[in-house]
Structure 1
Amino acid sequence: MLARQRQDLIIQAVEEHGGVRVSELVADLHVSDMTIRRDIEALADKGLVRKVHGGATRADRSAEEPGFTAKSEMNPVQKSEIARTAASLISAGSSVAVSAGTTAYAVAIELRAIKRLTVVTNSPRVADLLNDPTRDDLLVVLTGGVRTPSDALAGPVANEMLASTHVDTLILGVHGIDLHAGLTTPNLQEAQTNRALIKSAKRIVVVADHTKWGIIGLSTIATLDKVHTLVTDAELDEDARREISRQGVNLIVAPRSEEPLPTPVVS
């Protein structure tokens, strides 16, 4: 197979799924790991894909918003690591807002183990996940709003509801993080609702894997100085870690799956 044919197939896989792993391409195309990495490098140089650790994702487009299913297939191990670490910051008996997005959803999975919890969310998926009629110690409040491509409820109805809501902690997933642009999203309505979520919370915990660093969406949700804690994975490079910490953000790097978690706060 010619390089051009391989690269066309790589672009097709990225467009269909939002991202693709080197290991998957090696198996599908029956070529070496090094060949695939060279193909991805060539495509990234042309701006056709974005090279990430272990694979490739769609090229940066500030107004493009991949759907929930496409995003859920990207970096699942890292998201799980981040989720376990972020959930360990939540104590029993507290109130938590959980935004939409696949990493926030992963955190919601871990929140099910916490006792006496009140959860406010603009994600129907999170609300469905946490809905448990057998538990009288778990209250789930779903905002109204218009559904976005990432399965968030956003817009005036959600914003008005959140304006009178006060929670201890917000778990916020984002499309991208940049030193200057801050936390961003491709969706203007979702940006407004995420700002309302931020205003509702005493503590802002952003959950984002390493591939979100340097990505800039169409609209800024908040600058980095508004973030109390950022939970990310071990593949975030050292330069990014230093820049984030310089902004006064409490940076927590989630242990890899085989490593023990820090002592949890939950009981």
Structure 2
Amino acid sequence: MSVDAKTRRDLIEQRVRSEREVGYAELAADFDVSEMTIRRDVEALETLGVVRRVVGGAIALKGKDSEPSFATRVADAAEEKLHIADAVAELIGPSETVILDSGSTALAVARSLKGRRLGLTVVTPSLLAALELIDQPDTTVVLTGGELRPGELSLIGPAAEETLAGYNCDTYVMGVAGIDDERGISDYHQAESGVKRAASRRADRVIVAADKSKLGRVTFVRIAALSQVDVIVTDGDPEHPALVAAREVGVDVICVAGHADADSAVAQADSRIESRIDSQ
């Protein structure tokens, strides 16, 4: 396999996260480069806090503050995220004001919203999400202020939080790194988490979009208890302890595996919401 250094390092990062441990010799053979080249790649990834070098290779870091690169997260579970994004987009009504998070899953939601002609106003700290939607003729895009975070191209810090504090929105679509039955919703980055908490306070409904790898995971910064979100859309097992716990505190859980399943799950969620409204 002949690829440039950046692509090779992204692929090595994905592989070590998947397999937990990789060897220099095996990687050198797979990429048709020298072991010295692979060692340099691994040293660069170690500097970024992605892996740790060991004798003969590298292992994945296990700490709660080890965040994969944005490119890796976009590649991970890409097809599943498309189904999740489509299910989330189906929950968005015409003329809503939507806060759309930063991150790979939220970016997939932005792409799914394109062409639906919902007449949305989208407030986002994500430059990538804004670029996806800016040319939609029926969509108004509002960027928060803040410090631009390298790699993520997200806006963070007090200015972003203050911008959000000035709006009243219908729905917040949140991407997260962890959903746990005891620890609730969590993420890797402190400043990103501050923006997420600020967005949650300004929306009538909070939808968490997360692929199954996030279930049962606890990362560095706590964002919210499960009871503080309204809907979780995921491709995980409906009987996963995190999802069972979420349902027990009144969260609507939508589990999707494909387009047909997404439509069915959304219909079931709509039915449950209507039943709850009728009973009040």
Same fold by TM-score greater than 0.5: yes
What residue identity is the alignment partner of 1:75? A
Describe the superposition over 1:136-188 as per-residue Cα deviations: whole angstroms up to 9, x where unpaired: x2100011112335332110110111111111000000011112221111111
- Which of structures 1 and 2 has the larger relative contact order (alpha carbons within 8 angstroms, sep 6+)? 1
TM-score scaled by structure 1? 0.75
Shift of the 139–13 alpha-carbon distance from structure 1 to 2, 3 Å rule, reads closer
Would you tell me which structure has more helix in proportion to its own residues? 2
Return the alpha-carbon distance in structure 1 between the equivalents of residues 184 and 156 of structure 2.
20
Q: Which has the larger radius of gyration?
A: 2
Describe the superposition over 1:53-100 as per-residue Cα deviations: whole angstroms up to 9, x where unpaired: xxxx95542222222111101001110110000100001111111000
Aligned equivalent of 2:23 = none
SS in 2 for 1:92: coil
Of all paired residues, the percent bearing the same amino acid is 32
What residue identity is the alignment partner of 1:142? L
Describe the superposition over 1:207-236 as per-residue Cα deviations: whole angstroms up to 9, x where unpaired: 001100122221111111101000000446
Task: Establish whether residue 154 from structure 1 lines up as the match of residue 156 from structure 2.
Answer: yes
Q: Is the 8 A contact 2:87 2:262 kept in 1?
A: no
Q: Is the 8 A contact 1:84 1:107 kept in 2?
A: yes
Return the alpha-carbon distance in structure 1 between the equivalents of residues 262 and 215 of structure 2.
25
TM-score scaled by structure 2? 0.72
Shift of the 260–71 alpha-carbon distance from structure 1 to 2, 3 Å rule, reads closer
Aligned equivalent of 1:84 = 86
Shift of the 202–214 alpha-carbon distance from structure 1 to 2, 3 Å rule, reads same
What residue identity is the alignment partner of 1:248? G
Return the alpha-carbon distance in structure 2 between the equivalents of residues 114 and 191 of structure 1.
29
Task: Establish whether residue 129 from structure 1 lines up as the match of residue 127 from structure 2.
Answer: no
Aligned equivalent of 2:96 = 94
Return the alpha-carbon distance in structure 2 between the equivalents of residues 18 and 143 of structure 1.
35
Describe the superposition over 1:223-266 as per-residue Cα deviations: whole angstroms up to 9, x where unpaired: 1110100000044654443222112211001242464623678x
| Equivalent of 2:195 in 193, 196, 203 | 193
Q: Return 144-153 or 168-177, whichever deviates more.
A: 144-153
Q: Is the 8 A contact 2:165 2:202 kept in 1?
A: yes
Return the alpha-carbon distance in structure 1 between the equivalents of residues 217 and 240 of structure 2.
17
Q: Return 199-208 or 176-185, whichever deviates more.
A: 176-185
Shift of the 260–194 alpha-carbon distance from structure 1 to 2, 3 Å rule, reads closer
SS in 2 for 1:144: coil
Aligned equivalent of 2:230 = 228
Return the alpha-carbon distance in structure 1 between the equivalents of residues 126 and 70 of structure 2.
11
Q: Is the 8 A contact 1:162 1:200 kept in 2?
A: yes
Shift of the 249–60 alpha-carbon distance from structure 1 to 2, 3 Å rule, reads farther
Q: Is the 8 A contact 2:102 2:126 kept in 1?
A: yes
CA RMSD between the two structures: 3.1
Task: Establish whether residue 167 from structure 1 lines up as the match of residue 164 from structure 2.
Answer: no
SS in 2 for 1:261: helix
Matched residue count? 226
Aligned equivalent of 1:120 = 123
Return the alpha-carbon distance in structure 2 between the equivalents of residues 260 and 209 of structure 1.
13
Shift of the 18–230 alpha-carbon distance from structure 1 to 2, 3 Å rule, reads farther
SS in 1 for 2:263: coil
Shift of the 19–257 alpha-carbon distance from structure 1 to 2, 3 Å rule, reads farther
Gap regions ≥5 residues in structure 2 = 1-9, 20-26, 31-50, 53-58, 271-280
Gap regions ≥5 residues in structure 1 = 1-11, 22-27, 31-47, 50-56
Q: Return 236-245 or 97-106, whichever deviates more.
A: 236-245
Aligned equivalent of 1:15 = 13
